[in-house]
A = this chain, B = another copy of it.
């Protein structure tokens, strides 16, 4: 893909360009947000659709984001006392049926395995053979199969708590899919814990919610609201579902992680019983919590701009890319030698506990194309190094997040790299938080609410709406109405949202909550 364009951030630079193009990504966010999102992913080479309906291929640059997320999350899970294990991909249909709400939630869209062999049919083509006695579904989530195993592992209170996490693929036969955000197969982690008391399980549920909050904010630089879901929005089979909700740049909400207090529902369904300290047979209290490759979509939509991907340094596969500027072959050896020694110096520096990742792009392609390829990939810092920089022992550095370009002395740059990367990380968070706060409104009446969520031009709806905080009576009728009229849902009842300060803006009845409403992914 050849890019001949001039983005907003470098409009003073002379690059030959097709006049009609202004940004590396077409369309822009304002022009067509969903299409912009697809194009950012494509331009950064993160993932693509596969020929298998709804299943994506996560390409190396995208997968390395997932690896970095996994590493950070896994360390946080282990720090909070969890270990990893692995449970079967398949769930017998009879297991799913054990929990009534659960089966209701997952039976409608699942991959069903019915045969264990293929054989040549009458026309020579392969057809399924050897039917299974009981069909299996590919796990959409593992509460029921893990519950069955826990029921075998738990006899006494001494066997509790069980604090286990699984990194796995899961399948939900979604009809409308979108890379990272909603795919038939996705990668995730699912924590499943069992406890002797209700209090301990509730504490665990909230502890893991806070782990997700910390990860989203500190690593992804994505501000989130911690809250509880309403009855209508909670996980099928849960007593309470807690979530972190983030705002994308189209002002829609993205549910980025959930932590479920399952009460004794699944313990009863799976018969997870234990002999308590006082000698009684009791059901355990369980939790489950998960985040998925959806986070990558959230990160893309939180920070990227009309020139492509923007990555927070704490999760970037590469922090610094060095681009040698070569005008003729005679300079080549000298410039590359300088770049190599600079690379060694940079990679001996640390950021966030790990060595700084740096690479030299010495591909033999046009300079503009090369620069743009790294802009679109979201690398936090680009260094252009030519003979003049070498003569001055200087470094010319461009920040991806702000577009700022600055000359440093080499020594100064290398020494301040951890600080610069930290600044980029903090800037991304501050910018995203400002965007969210600017687009969050306290709404006092129904009419104002409807107007807030209605685009001005219904034929070509611009980016509109945001997070609406409003007094709400907690009724499902209101939820149904808003879903139908505006495609708006209660995102959560924030844990720090405060008490309602008036009656429900929709019904006039006493308000139960101050809730956050939004359109969402």
A residues within 8 Å of B by Cβ? 50-52, 55-60, 62-64, 66-67, 83-93, 95-97, 103, 107-119, 125-128, 135-138, 145, 148-149, 164, 168-169, 171, 173, 185, 187
16 A-B pairs with C-beta separation under 8 A:
A52-B88, A52-B91, A52-B92, A52-B136, A52-B145, A55-B89, A60-B84, A60-B164, A63-B83, A63-B84, A64-B83, A109-B116, A112-B115, A113-B114, A118-B135, A168-B169
Q: Which chain B residues border A52 with CB–CB below 8 Å? A: 88, 90-92, 136, 145
Q: Which chain B residues border A103 with CB–CB below 8 Å? A: 126
Q: Is the CB of A88 within 8 A of B148?
A: no
Which residue in chain B gives the minimum CB-CB distance to A115? Answer: B112
A125 to B103, CA, bound (A): 11
Q: Which chain B residues border A57 with CB–CB below 8 Å? A: 85-88, 149
Q: How many copies does the complex hold?
A: 2
Which residue in chain B gives the minimum CB-CB distance to A163? Answer: B60
Known: A93-B126, A138-B138. A55 touches B115 (CB 8 A): no
Seed contacts A50-B88, A57-B88, A62-B85; 15 additional CB < 8 Å A-B pairs: A52-B90, A55-B90, A56-B88, A57-B87, A60-B164, A64-B83, A96-B126, A97-B125, A107-B119, A107-B126, A110-B118, A111-B136, A117-B173, A128-B135, A169-B169
Known: A63-B83, A84-B63, A169-B169. A137 touches B118 (CB 8 A): yes
Q: Which chain B residues border A90 with CB–CB below 8 Å? A: 52, 55, 111, 185
Q: Is the CB of A107 within 8 A of B118?
A: yes
Q: Please pick, from B62, B86, B125, B148, the residue contacting A187 in the complex, using a CB distance under 8 A.
A: B86
A117 to B174, CA, bound (A): 11
Q: Which chain B residues border A92 with CB–CB below 8 Å? A: 51-52
A234 to chain B, nearest CB (A): 22
Q: Please pick, from B89, B93, B173, the residue contacting A116 in the complex, using a CB distance under 8 A.
A: B173
A125 to B92, CA, bound (A): 13
A95 to B103, CA, bound (A): 32
Q: Is the CB of B60 within 8 A of A83?
A: yes
Q: Is the CB of B113 within 8 A of A117?
A: no
A371 to chain B, nearest CB (A): 19
A237 to chain B, nearest CB (A): 16
Q: Which chain B residues border A50 with CB–CB below 8 Å? A: 87-88, 145, 148-149
Interface centre among A59, A88, A92, by most chain B C-beta atoms within 10 angstroms, is: A88
Q: Please pick, from B109, B116, B135, B148, the residue contacting A110 in the complex, using a CB distance under 8 A.
A: B116
A247 to chain B, nearest CB (A): 28
Interface centre among A59, A64, A111, A185, by most chain B C-beta atoms within 10 angstroms, is: A111
Q: Is the CB of A138 within 8 A of B89?
A: yes
Q: Please pick, from B64, B84, B95, B118, the residue contacting A67 in the complex, using a CB distance under 8 A.
A: B84
A168 to B98, CA, bound (A): 29
Which residue in chain B gives the minimum CB-CB distance to A106? Answer: B118
Q: Which chain B residues border A185 with CB–CB below 8 Å? A: 88-90
Known: A51-B148, A138-B89, A185-B89. A117 touches B128 (CB 8 A): no
**Which 5 pairs, one residue from A and one from B, show the smallest C-beta to C-beta distance?**
A55-B88, A60-B83, A112-B115, A107-B118, A58-B86
Q: Which chain B residues border A119 with CB–CB below 8 Å? A: 107
Which residue in chain B gives the minimum CB-CB distance to A169? Answer: B89
Q: Is the CB of A107 within 8 A of B112?
A: no
A103 to B118, CA, bound (A): 9
Q: Which chain B residues border A108 with CB–CB below 8 Å? A: 117-118
Which residue in chain B gives the minimum CB-CB distance to A86? Answer: B58
Q: Is the CB of A112 within 8 A of B111?
A: no
A120 to chain B, nearest CB (A): 9
Which residue in chain B gives the minimum CB-CB distance to A126? Answer: B93
A125 to B86, CA, bound (A): 29
Q: Is the CB of B109 within 8 A of A84?
A: no
A57 to B111, CA, bound (A): 21
Which residue in chain B gives the minimum CB-CB distance to A89? Answer: B185
